[in-house]
Amino acid sequence: MTIVGHLINGEVRTDAARTQDVFNPATGLATKQVALAAKETVEEAIAAAQAAYPAWRNTPTGKRAQVMYRFKALLEQHADKICEMIGDEHGKISHDAAGELQRGIENVEYACGIAELLKGEHSRNVGPGIDSWSEFQPLGVVAGITPFNFPAMVPLWMYPMAIACGNTFVLKPSERDPSSTLFIAQLLQEAGLPDGVMNVVNGDKEAVDVLLSDERIKAVSFVGSTPIAEYIYSTANANGKRCQALGGAKNHAIVMPDADMDNAVNQLLGAAFGSSGERCMALSVAVAVGDAAADALVAKMKEAMKPLKVGSATDSSNDFGPVITRQHQQKVVGYIDSAEQDGATVVVDGRNPQVEGFEDGFFVGATLIDGVTSEMTSYQEEIFGPVLQVVRVDSMEAAMQLINDHEYGNGTCIFTRDGEAARYFSDNIEVGMVGINVPLPVPVSYHSFGGWKRSLFGDLHAYGPDAVRFYTKRKTITQRWPSSGVREGVSFSFPS
């Protein structure tokens, strides 16, 4: 069976002391294995990055940008192969995988402008003959720890900008779907990146803990669940590292009585069930204001969900694919069971979908649950599956209070025709990414991505302008060249 290895100092290596099966979630079969890095392997990757850092740090920004331009072209050239890899190991349908990859490519495009982004600031004659300026210098060796749900996009949130800023990188991707991530890193090597600048180590908690404790790692970026994000953030900080850790979500969409209901339903279908709901920006709760709006929403959603197709990534006509593991399938079904036991109504039941030819796959069908309340476990926790819950409230204020009271604050949106309501919502909602009639308000690459509350640990968001700040440190230089023959007296006052 094929073993997916590591990329260390420009070479693909297999550390086979420990391995783990990699499944095709549509068939339920193990198709390959992934090597799980031992402590020594991770340390070798860090050492390779540290050795490559001085030369890469001093490489002109224009040459770093040229690598990113070539990398972008290679990603586009090999897009079909990358999407196929994602489908085989994640289960994502080709059109969804292509969208993921394109969003990642956009971050590479942003990194291509690194010469402009690192120009710094300059002030002449801040005092007599004195100039002052700021520079943004790289940190050194930095690390990324990424989740299974976006094996191409999320790593591309991190290392293109980190590397363009002059750092070297060690990536620990998800061990559940590692092939596309490793292949993309090899394309970066093909684009002309020197050996050791980019390294990939597959592994589990043993590998993660090395990255969090090794003093050579200066910063860690993480995307995953909130409990793990909190652990990553606290451990990295305890070891003196800069850290941004993006956690979980429970994203609400307010559906106002004046909303274009047909449009809201179409938008909710993709936002709730795309990627099988396995994305931190999935809309998992529709908060309907008033019973009339709720009844209309539920009726239209029930009808619109009838033609939805769940199935294998090999059929591009499917709307979404399986969830990532058998255990996660059971967990999602457990949340549906829990909501029903707590008194909610399962309007459309996706617990036992029949997918011909893929009876052993990890499938959950699109599910709609009405009558959900904030006391229910299924409401409080992140389901991370193709499940949309409907909560009924009497007013927009009550809907906003529901959202503001939740521990997560990643993304939200409102469907309305009322500009005043939309403005009030965007001003007062306590969530990091807000959509107005936009169900998945994922920022474009030249803005930054991140939530509030327990959806983000750290001060800086991912990618965009915040990425430049996260992967660099500011140095301010004040310089004077005294005129010849001019001597100043001693001064003990604070300079002004």
Total residues belonging to the chain? 496
Q: Which residues pair with 255 in a beta bridge?
A: 288, 415
Place of tokens 């290392």: 159
The per-residue b/e assignment along 74-103, b for 16 or more CB within 10 angstroms, e otherwise, is bbeebbeebbbbbbbbbbbbbebbbbbbeb
Q: Return the bridge partners of 30, or none.
A: 23
- Rounded to whole angstroms, what are the CA distances from 26 to 34, 115, 360? 19, 44, 7
Q: Which of 112, 165, 243, 280 is catalytic?
A: 280
**Annotation marks residue 243 as catalytic:** no
What CA–CA distance (Å, rounded) separates 308 from 354?
Answer: 13
Contacts of 416 (CB under 8 A, 6+ apart): 254, 256, 258, 259, 422, 425, 436, 437
Whole-angstrom distance, CA of residue 275 vs CA of residue 282: 9
* Residue 325 identity: T
Residue partners of 427: CB distance under 8 A and separation at least 6: none
Distance CA 166, CA 152 (A): 22
**CA 421 to chain CA mean position, Å:** 30
For residues 25 and 321, is the Cβ–Cβ distance under 8 A? yes
Catalytic residues: 280
